Amino acid sequence: MTFGDNPDNPFRNFRFPSRNLNGGARPKIGALPLTVIILTVLAVILVSLSGFYADFLWFRSVDYSQVWTTLLTTRISLFLIFGLLTSSIVTANIYIAYKRRPIYVPVTLEADNLERYRAQLEPLRKVVLVGVAVALFYFSGMSGTRLWESWLLFRNASEFGVVDPQFGRDVSFFAFELPFYQSIVGWAISTLILATLASLAVHYVYGGIRPQVRQDRTT
């Protein structure tokens, strides 16, 4: 009987862990998830734009094709502008928050739990970031298209010739320009809140923000 077969040997059932042949390298993420996300967004966009063709047929039947063209170009422009701005601002804050993450995180029970999420998220980090950017671009762009009427009124505003006695401005300002300004302010506040929440979430996951517990308090 050998030492390894001895029933009294406490290490009889011990096995050395298998060697990692990949050398600890991160698993590579294929292009399939990103392709699925892009195709899904494109399909949703095509479905959303399907109603434009029916509108075109109606406007053409009454000889107002130019109105349809103006409406279409306005909505597309607003979609691109608001989508790009919102997506760029939010994803830039996420990227900055990730780059400024702490290198060393204090060892706590909460940090140990978050480490599991970080380990799962890290290989998919780029895919998640691109997915968030594309989703923000689409939904923000669709929200921006709703401002087509306010923008056209703002762009083609004309004075009424009646001055408001309290503010000293032409009454047309309150009918044509003020609604668009209010929409821009609302969009800016919403984007700022969304970017702040996204940045806080990244800081929390990567240990940049740590809730104070009783053990951390000193007198």
What would the pLDDT profile of 180-199 be if each residue is shown by its tens digit?
Answer: 999 999 999 999 999 999 99
DSSP state string for 54-95: HHHHHHHHTT-HHHHHHHHHHHHHHHHHHHHHHHHHHHHHHH
Tell whether 160 is covered by a domain. yes
Model-level pTM? 0.70
Give a yes or no: residue 104 inside a domain: yes
pLDDT at 7 over 60: no
Does a structural domain hold residue 130? yes
Q: Distance of alpha carbon 159 from its chain centroid, rounded?
A: 40
Q: Is residue 15 part of a domain?
A: no
Domain count, the chain: 1
In a domain, 27, yes or no: no
Asked if the structure places residue 2 within a domain, the reply is no
The answer as to whether 198 is a domain residue is yes
Distances (CA, A) of 190 to 34, 92, 93, 111, 175: 27, 16, 14, 31, 24
Confidence band, pLDDT 50/70/90 cuts, at residue 19: very low
DSSP 4-15: TT-TT-TTTT--
Residue 138 lies in a domain: yes
DSSP string spanning 162-181? -B-TTT-SBTHIIIIIHHHH
| Closest to 209 in 3D by CA, of 135, 113, 143, 111 | 111
Instruction: State which residues form the domain around 90.
Output: 32-211
Would you state the pLDDT for residue 188?
A: 96
